[in-house]
Each structure stands twice: as structure tokens, then as C-alpha cells.
Structure 1
Amino acid sequence: MSEKNTGVVNLRYRDGSEGSLFNPVKFNNQDYTQLKNNHLERNCLFVDSTFPPNGCSLGDLPYLDNWEEDHLKWLRPALTFCKEGASRFNVCQGYINNSWFLAALSSLTFNQTMMNQVVPTNQSFLDYDYAGIFHFRFWRFGKWVDVVIDDFLPMTDNHLLSVFSQDGHEFWAALLEKAYAKYDPASEDSQ
């Protein structure tokens, strides 16, 4: 979507009604700001009970052999959320065979305005602001939908199952893929 089209989409909701960029529909009624502030105040990390860090959230992954499934771990990354100037060349496909998603991520990096709308910039792994919670926005059926996730990512043999950054130190793409899998569980089954 061009920046001109992005502006038209956002003008549609200039009154701030639900579904606008500044008042997106809250998926599963989870409010990112409220949850994050709550966990920061309590000094504990968010764990998403609606999309828990276990095999139930992965669905059926027929291309993982039994050894990999037995050694599957859910870990929290502790490096960089998104470097300045995300690049399509830095996103690589993981075990999950969804090249269509990888292509969409790569396209997203061409339009910084759209990137900032889908991947809000008000989140990081910095200690003072870190609560183990992230959120992403998806445009669906004429409305923005905000999806909240924890930052547990599935790994086997020290490799992410999801998309990953080429340098291994950036996690916006893997977390965005997790948010999309939560929002549209059928996406992982349509490979």
C-alpha cells in the first residue's frame, strides 16, 4: 500500500472510532498499554494465557521430527526488537514453511509509514520499559486490529522455528509472525 493510500485509509477513521489506527480493535479484548503498565508496576513479565508458550500454540508442524519436538523450548529473546531501518535482506525463513509471510514482511520494510503502523515503535527490550509484552496491528475487513503477545519464541537446537534475522540479534519479524499466528491460526496450516 502506498503512503498516499495509507493516508486515505487513516482518514477514514479520523474521528478515532474503533478500528482506527489510534483506536484499533483489541483482539481477545487485550489492551496492550493496560497489560504492559500492570506488569511493569508488578515487576513481572507478561505470559499470554490466550496464546501460551507451548505446543498448543504451534498447531501441527509435520516437518519437525520427534527429536526436534522433544527438544523444543520456548525462550525470551533479550537483544534488539527492531534496528533502525529494517531491511528485507535481514529477514530469513525458519522451519515454518510460509514463504508468503516472508514476502509480506519483506514488502513491509519498503514503506516505513506502514511498517510503523503494523509494528508500533513504542516497544523494546530495554530494561526500564520491558515487560515481556509486544503488540502488532493488522488491517482486516476495513479495520485495524491490535494483537498482544508475550515474547516467548519457539526454538529447537538453538534455532528459531519462525522467521529470523540474518544477524540473529533482531526479533521484530519473529514476534510479528507469532502475532499473526495468534490472530489467524489457519495461517500456519495453509502452507
Structure 2
Amino acid sequence: MSTRVEPAQEGLDIEDLEFAQGGFDGPGSGFGVADVNDGQVLRPINWNLLTAEEALLEWADLDAWVQWLRRTFGLPPSVVPPLWHRHDELVWELSALHTHWLNAYDPDGTPSGPIGWLRDFADARHRLREWVSSAGCRLDRDRPTRQTAWPGEAPPEASGEVEILDRQADFVRFVTEDVAARRRTEE
């Protein structure tokens, strides 16, 4: 069964998601609020521990960076699919790659940092391609990552693929839901 990811509907609070229309335009323009070098120490991102506000900033920055990455390196949807944000394995890989990139290109970093990042990026592309293939993601369709139940576990809920009509609207919806869930947990 196929469902459709519809374009953005009225009522979405895009004011809270300023990044929805933004993006990274090139070196020097910055990715967003969390990537601005304001004296904060660069740290790995543990998506399981982020507060709602931290998650909102990290999603904004990661999305802008992934947009830059796919355009700069001409990455096909077999490496970075449109709904990458709906696949935990892709979020963790891309987030780690993003943090590594920030470190490699830090003005105070080592001159060999960029070549190390490029080498690791080559390895990451192989992993991304494998996960995308395993999930069955395509340019115009997406389905949840396949899960296998271990003996004694209930089988995972079956869900079909979705047709992608508006990637940005889906991203905004996804982040809105993620941030709302984190806020409920914080309360």
C-alpha cells in the first residue's frame, strides 16, 4: 500500500522553523544557529539526549548541511535520499559526518583535517549507500527502515512506502513532531 507525503498544509508553524526556507549557500555563509562559532566547544551530537530546543537547532543545521553536501558533491538519492531524516541510521551517519566536517574545517584545526574528512567521507558514502539500498529509498518514494523481529518479539508494524511530493514540507512536519515529543518528555 502506498500513501502520499503531501505538500505543506496550512497551520504548520514555520515561524518556529526558520530554517525551513533557508539553507547553506556556500562557504562562509554559515549553516545555522548551532554552527555559528560563538565560543561553544564542538561536541558529538547524541540525538537521544537532546532537549527540544537543542534538537530544533541541530535539525536546522544538519538539514542545511546535508543540502549543501548533496549539491556540492553531486550525491544521488542512492546515497542521500530526500527523506533521510526519517531513517535513524542515516541521521546518525550524516550527523557524525557533519560534526567531523566542522572539526576538519575549523580555522584552528590541523591543515590535514580536510583530507582526513574526505577519506572518511568516502567510507561513509559506502555505508550510506548500503543503508539506503536496504531501506529501499528512492528519489520519489520512501519506506521505513526494515526491522527484523528476534525470536520472542512481536513482529514490527507493517507500513508501506510513501510517495514524496514535497520533501521540505515533510521535513518541517517531522521536526515539528520530534520537537513536540521532546517537549512532552521534558514536561
The interval holding the TM-score normalised by the smaller chain is: under 0.3
Mark the structure with the bigger radius of gyration.
2
TM-score of the aligned structures, taking structure 1 as reference length: 0.27
| More helix, by proportion | 2
TM-score of the aligned structures, taking structure 2 as reference length: 0.27
Taking CA–CA contacts closer than 8 Å with sequence separation of 6 or more, which of the two structures ends up with the larger relative contact order? 2
| More strand, by proportion | 1
